[in-house]
Amino acid sequence: MELIFLGTGAGTPSKERNVSSLVLNLLSERNSFWMFDCGEGTQHQVLHSSIRLGRLEKIFITHLHGDHIFGLPGLLSSRSMAGSQDPLALYGPPGIKAFVETALNLSGSYLTYPLEIIEIQPGKVVEDQQFCVTALPLVHGIESFGYRIVETDKPGTLDASRLLAEGIPAGPIFQRLKAGELVSLDDGRVVNGHDYLGPAQKGRSLAIFGDTSPSETSLVLAKNVDVMVHETTLEASMAEQANSRGHSTTQQTAELAKAAGAKRLIITHFSARYDSEESVRLLAECQEIFPQTEMACDLAVFTL
């Protein structure tokens, strides 16, 4: 599992940072990619990455500001022009359906694949055998969400050496035991797979925030996650300006990560006033409070 940052700037692109988009690489887990936000120019950034649009399974939009959605019509169309026929699901706040359908209809665009658009409400938005995704509201002037992604716990390792020592032959039986089944042997014994499994492997968790000023919901969203991805639009001394526009500072973001018990913090969504050298100062402000802070840059890849 990897996080690939396609755009790490705020509001407008700069020479060093495009506007918001990141991708969760789930090729190993489900042979697909999940995208979070799709600002203008996102599909150009994809060309410089390992991401394949044909394997894009889901897109999650945090809010409807242009720097988070203006890349959607072009990306959806390019996926179609590449001949993809695999379904794509798009999740976002109310209004996302009208935006996408209007842009595609007025431009005479067509899609070669089924596109399902789900306008979300607070609560679970995706749940299957592998992952649960929950959306919670944030504070940003317009409706904005953060997404909490939790991987299902994996069964523990099967103790094959113990099974062999007890005269249980390797083969298809081992697969059934690893699934926790009860298996009847030829000698009359009944073996419970759970008795031969090690401790379950806890699933990974992450919180991906939309734009927001500090809120109580943020603490719930990030509680004990392995990785927290959060905006740090402005430096600590500019809290009043940041909060008045529905954004957070370095200090506020780091304090949230510490209070939530997050294991790692990745900061992103930097104002264009900060070039690459000045961005290092923002990282330092976070690390003073939360040492496990890392700074995202365009096309950076983080392994979970």
Does the pLDDT of residue 200 top 90, yes or no?
Answer: no
Whole-model pTM: value is 0.89
* Catalytically annotated residue among 67, 153, 187, 226: 67
Q: Helix (H, G, I), strand (E, B), or coil: what is residue 203? A: coil
* Domain assignment of residue 180, given as a range: 160-196
pLDDT band, residue 112 (cuts 50/70/90): very high
Rounded Cα–Cα distance for residues 17 and 260 (Å): 28
Is the domain of 117 the same as that of 173? no
Where helices occur in 169-275 by DSSP H, the ranges are 172-178, 216-222, 239-244, 250-260
Crossing angle between the packed helical segments 96-106 and 72-81, to the nearest 10 degrees: 60
Indicate if 188 and 227 belong to the same structural domain. Answer: no
Determine if residue 67 is labeled as part of a ligand binding site.
yes
100 with 9, same domain: the answer is yes
Mean pLDDT of 26-49: 97
Whether residues 142 and 59 share a domain: the answer is yes
Q: Please, what is the average pLDDT of the chain? A: 95
Output the pLDDT for position 198.
84
Q: What is the pLDDT of residue 235?
A: 93
pLDDT in tens, 278-298: 899 999 999 999 999 999 999
Query: What number is the average pLDDT over the span 236-264?
Result: 96
Total domains in the chain come to 2
205 shares its domain with 298: yes
Tokens encoding 109: 């665009």
Compute the average pLDDT of residues 213-234. Answer: 96
Where a domain ends, among 138, 169, 196? 196
Q: Please determine, for residue 172, whether its predicted confidence score (pLDDT) is greater than 90.
A: no
Residue 63 annotated as lining a ligand binding site: yes
65 is in an annotated binding site: yes
Q: Are residues 51 and 80 in the same domain?
A: yes
Are 88 and 127 contained in the same domain?
Answer: yes
* Identity of the amino acid at 163: L
Burial letters 43-74, b for 16+ CB under 10 A, else e: bebbeebebebeebbbbbbbbbbebbbbbbbb
pLDDT score at 84: 94
pLDDT band at 169 (very low <50, low <70, confident <90, very high): confident
Beta-strand relationship, 32-36 and 21-26 = antiparallel
- 148 and 182 in a single domain? The answer is no
- Asked if 76 and 187 sit in the same domain, the reply is no
Predicted local distance difference test score (pLDDT) of residue 201: 84
pLDDT of 109 over the 90 cut:
yes
Instruction: Give the CATH number, domain containing residue 141.
Output: 3.60.15.10
Q: Is 195 a catalytic residue?
A: no
pLDDT in tens, 135-151: 999 999 999 999 999 99
Whether residues 11 and 130 share a domain: the answer is yes
Q: What is the DSSP secondary structure assignment for residue 9, as one 8-state letter? A: B
Among the candidates 174, 196, 218, a domain finishes at 196
The pLDDT of residue 76 is: 97
Q: What does residue 26 show for φ and ψ, rounded to 5 degrees?
A: -120, 30
Residues 212 and 189 in one domain: no
Does 247 count as an annotated binding residue? no
**Residue 44 marked ligand-binding:** no
Averaged pLDDT for residues 269-286: 93
Residues 165 and 80 in one domain: no
Q: Is the pLDDT of residue 249 over 90?
A: yes
Q: Using alpha carbons only, give the angle 109, 125, 269 rounded to the nearest 5 degrees.
A: 70
The pLDDT confidence band at residue 224, using thresholds 50, 70 and 90, is very high
